[in-house]
Structure 1
Amino acid sequence: MFFGKTKQTRQSDRIPPNQNVTTKFPVLHAGNVPYYEDMSKWNLQVYGLVDRPMLLSFEDIKAFPKAELKNDIHCVTGWSRLDNVWQGIRAKDIAEKAGVHEEAGFVILHAEEGWTANLPLSDFTRETSLLAYAHNGEPLTPEHGYPLRGVFPHLYFWKSAKWLRGIQFTKENHPGFWEKNGYHMRGDPWKNQRFTWD
């Protein structure tokens, strides 16, 4: 099989409904893969309903307290990959540094080529939510989101946007790229929330 399935019981408390475990790390995305030869041209804009908008360099990102988290990830296409170790910064640290307004309830992640993903602020600021620059001790490859990607393991992996360039805090929930194309607005794998009608 393409995804390199391993034996896994459906009763496992680590595997959501209709998922199969893989030891590989499939690459799925829309658009082109960006390659950064000069990191001085990369930045991350943090804006919207915040007290302190920020334009962060990669060095600024690395200056935040480093976090390392181990988790399982679940793709809406049906594969799950267990025991991933990510290094990066906690998403909640960005929110705290920016001073998110009380009326903000959602986050829009902006990536290269106009790609977006939406999620509730409560999902963004979970202890398990990360902005990652390394996976299993190695810098992210371009195909997996270098230099920075979101990692929100409690949601389907399309919410973990690659090639981040902006984090926008909003009052209203605005559908992202895949949500506009029929994917679920939240994407909880344990509730099998794959599409708008789920």
Structure 2
Amino acid sequence: MTEAGDDGVSRFGQIKDKLIGRKEEWSREGRGLTGTTAPHQQRLPPGQHLVRDWPVLDLGIQPEIPKAAFRLVIDGAVDQPVTLDWDALMALPQQGSVSDMHCVTTWSRFDNHWEGVPVAAIVDLVRPLDEATHVLFESHDDYTTNLSREQFTAADCYLVHTWEGKPISRQHGGPLRVIVPQYYLWKSAKWVRRITFATADHQGFWETRGYNNRADPWLEERYS
């Protein structure tokens, strides 16, 4: 049962609104901005600091998706839309990769070891149409985000289910999340349930709340 306050608003809803409001305030204040840029050859982007742990950041929801109930829809401007259950996902080509993570809240973590499906395998499977210019993501917590097709189809982008040799935990987006290493981490949707190839851009949850549509850490594209 969801606990409600005197005004009928759930305690969970109050917490969620507070989390969202704080991050919207960060965008208005320009939190973390240094006013500098750096070449991508510089491993740590401007304004970032290294951490050894993996901080947990979400909208206050950490949905639990049993593998038996897992479904991933990939649709939109493609030749072959599909809905994958867990077995079908695992039957796709699997690869290991190593990449860094950069969060807009100013932390970075180097040398993360992943296992999952390279985006190239997804492209081969659904065959996006030439007019598909963008990719939209929906998550089980109703989160959304967006990328250009070029961003999503880079060689280092994966749908990952394993981190450091273990299944990705629920708190970090398991059983499946997106990893797009060259952009701030809010572009790497957790608990992903739908990937849509689109013929136009549609801004997602944070992009409509003051955060940059492209999100390049080396250009400090934190906010719009």
TM-score after normalising by structure 1? 0.91
Deviations 1:82-121 (A, max 9, x none): 0100100101211221010000000001101321110011
Q: Is the aligned partner of 1:34 residue 2:63?
A: yes
Q: Aligned-pair distance for 1:140?
A: 0.4
Offset of 1:41 from its aligned partner? Answer: 1.6
Bigger share in helix: 2
Counterpart in the other structure of 1:186: 214
Q: Which amino acid aligns with 1:156?
A: Y
The answer as to 2:146 corresponding to 1:134 is no
Which whole-Å deviations, capped at 9, do the CAs of 1:106-149 have from their partners, x for residues lacking one? 00011013211100111111110000000011000000111100
Report the Cα offset of residue 31 of structure 1: 3.6
State the match for 1:20 in structure 2.
49
Write the letter of the residue equivalent to 2:138: H
> Which SS does the other structure have where 1:95 is aligned?
helix
Question: Aligned partner of 1:106: which letter?
Answer: H
Separation in structure 2 between the aligned mates of residue 146 and residue 114 of structure 1, nearest angstrom: 15
RMSD: 1.4
Q: Radius of gyration: which is bigger?
A: 2
Matching of residues 1-198 of structure 1 within 5 Å: 13-36=42-65, 38-196=66-224
* Distance (Å, rounded) in 1 between the aligned partners of 2:67 and 2:55: 26
Contact 1:15 1:80 in 2 (8 A): yes
CA distance in 1, matches of 2:119, 2:110: 21
Identity %: 37
Look up the SS of the partner of 2:128 in the other structure.
coil
SS in 1 for 2:141: helix
| Inter-partner Cα distance in structure 1 for 2:156 and 2:102 | 14
Show structure 2 runs of 5+ residues with no match.
1-37
- Correspondence for 2:6: none
* Alignment check: 8 A CA contact 1:150 1:160 kept: yes
Tell whether the 8 Å contact from 1:106 to 1:118 is kept in structure 2 after alignment: yes
Cα distance in 1 for partners of 2:90, 2:82 equals 15
Taking the aligned partners of 1:93 and 1:125, their CA distance within structure 2 comes to 10
Gapped regions of structure 1 (runs ≥ 5): 1-9
Amino acid aligned to 1:137: G
